[in-house]
Amino acid sequence: MTTLVEAHGLKKRFGDMTAVDDVSLSVSRGEVVGFLGPNGAGKSTTMKMITGFLEPDTGTAQIGGHDVWRDPAAAKAKLGYLPEGAPAYGDMPVADFLTFCGKMRGLRKAQLNNRLAEMAERVRLTEVWSRPIEALSKGYRRRVGIAQALIHDPDILVLDEPTDGLDPNQKHEMRNLIREIAPNKSIIVSTHILEEVEAVCSRAVIIASGKVVADATPRDLVGSKDDGRAIQIRIGSPEEASVIEKIKPLADGAELEVMERINGSTRVLLRYNDKPEDTRAIETRLKSADLPVEEVGIYRPRLEDVFRDVTTRIH
């Protein structure tokens, strides 16, 4: 498989703060990499360095075999980029803006018109085609940004939060679009929506505080935490702390960890050093102690849990 994006040892400091710390990433044709991380983790900064907008302090980035700093024109010609927030010239109608972007990318005449027509249809912009961008809703503006990134049918796509601000139908369409074009391209998408990663990405790269903390397929990421050594229970009571105290002596020496609190119920993990005994037995024991416990079962982590786990650990 051809590697279309190759970033090596990217580092960027802003004053005293290291925003990106030694990030390496390589993406082959056909891969869709989901770029994840908490706010301020350094996703956008990394993308800016890969696209040649921001010069790294150290490290290199290659796009389609061309170094983005030594041979910027060749590298950028193969790249489509949606910057964070989907910036665009607000005073321009959608058609003019996309024409401008296409021309800057070297498209002319029939070829340009074909691409414009395709974008109007595929990204569904026909309705707003001659409206000024500043008069569009946030979702439409985001779509104009996507169209701009796709106008020259680039081999490499870097999309910074492409589905931010889209309604559920639009998100669904966007995912379909990415899936459709993926086989011939290398795509890097950053997102905060984890189900999206499971739906479209062949790989998930998680960064925290500027460092890569996980890089695997979504399935493997989840699998790596899925060792069957924990039991998950749900407590349906607002007095969670006292309930947890009462569970402790009944849990065979498990380590208790609160996973999340939703709508007055709390998800608690009982972690064991080894595979736990029969979950049934534990369930019966807890219930006979008259504790408000529901849904006792072996813990099958979700991507969300893995994300929280790898990004909140102290590095």
Partner 1 sequence: MTASLSSVSVVFGREFRAYFATPLAAIFLVVFLALAGAMTFFVSGFFARGSADMAAFFTWMPWLFLVLLPAIGMRLWAEERRSGTIELLMTMPVAPWTIVLGKFLAGWAFTGVALALTTPLWITVNWLGSPDNGVIVAGYLGTFLMAGAFLAIAACISTLTKNQVIAFISAAIVTFILVTAGLELVLGAIRGWAPYWMTEAVAALSVLEHFQRITQGLIEAPTLIFFGSLIVLALMINTFLVDLKKAQ
Ligand X SMILES: Nc1ncnc2c1ncn2[C@@H]1O[C@H](COP(=O)(O)OP(=O)(O)OP(=O)(O)O)[C@@H](O)[C@H]1O
Q: Which residues bind ligand X (CB under 6 A)?
A: 14, 19, 37, 39-45, 84
Side chain identity at 202, as an amino acid letter? Answer: S
Q: Pick from 24, 53, 95, 211: which binds partner 1 (CB under 8 A)?
A: 53
What are the angstrom distances between the C-alpha of 97 and each of 112, 136, 149? 13, 13, 12
Count residues near partner 1 (CB under 8 A): 30
- 236: number of Cβ within 10 Å: 15
**204-215: b or e for each residue (b if 16 or more CB lie within 10 Å)?**
bbbbbbbbbbbb
Nearest to 61 by CA among 53, 46, 50: 50
Residue 138 found at the interface with partner 1 (CB under 8 A): no
Q: Where are the beta strands (DSSP E) in 181-292?
A: 186-190, 203-208, 211-216, 230-235, 255-262, 265-271
Residue 104 found at the interface with partner 1 (CB under 8 A): yes
Nearer to ligand X, 39 or 273 (CB): 39
Q: Pick from 83, 210, 218, 276: which binds partner 1 (CB under 8 A)?
A: 83
Query: Which of partner 1, Mg ion, ligand X, none is residue 23 near (CB under 5 to 8 Å by kind)?
Result: none
- Written as six digits, the tokens of 60 are 């290199």
Residue 256 found at the interface with partner 1 (CB under 8 A): no
Which residue do the tokens 């062949």 mark? Answer: 202
Residue 44 found at the interface with Mg ion (CB under 5 A): yes
Q: How far apart are CA 288 and CA 188, in angstroms?
A: 51
Question: What is residue 37's three-state secondary structure?
Answer: coil
Q: Pick from 8, 26, 69, 74: which binds partner 1 (CB under 8 A)?
A: 74
| Whether 125 contacts 147, CB under 8 Å | yes
User: What are 267's strand-pairing partners?
Assistant: 234, 260
Residue 56 found at the interface with partner 1 (CB under 8 A): no
Q: How far is the CB of 44 from Mg ion (least distance, A)?
A: 3
Q: Pick from 29, 36, 51, 120: which binds partner 1 (CB under 8 A)?
A: 51
Residue 142: alpha-carbon gap to chain centroid: 16
Nearer to ligand X, 62 or 191 (CB): 191
Show Cβ contacts of residue 276 under 8 Å, excluding neighbours closer than 6 positions.
229, 230, 231, 252, 254, 270, 282, 298
Q: How far is the CB of 169 from partner 1 (least distance, A)?
A: 27
Q: How far is the CB of 232 from ligand X (least distance, A)?
A: 28
Nearer to Mg ion, 4 or 20 (CB): 20
Residue 153: alpha-carbon gap to chain centroid: 22
User: What are 255's strand-pairing partners?
Assistant: 271
Q: Pick from 33, 41, 79, 243: which binds partner 1 (CB under 8 A)?
A: 79
Q: For residues 69-108, which are near Mg ion according to CB under 5 A?
A: 84
Question: What is residue 295's three-state secondary structure?
Answer: strand
Residue 90 found at the interface with partner 1 (CB under 8 A): yes
Nearer to Mg ion, 43 or 152 (CB): 43
Residue 65 found at the interface with partner 1 (CB under 8 A): no
Residue 147 found at the interface with partner 1 (CB under 8 A): no
Binding residues for Mg ion (CB under 5 A)? 43-44, 84
Binding residues for partner 1 (CB under 8 A)? 48, 51-54, 72-77, 79, 81, 83-85, 87-92, 96, 100-101, 103-106, 148
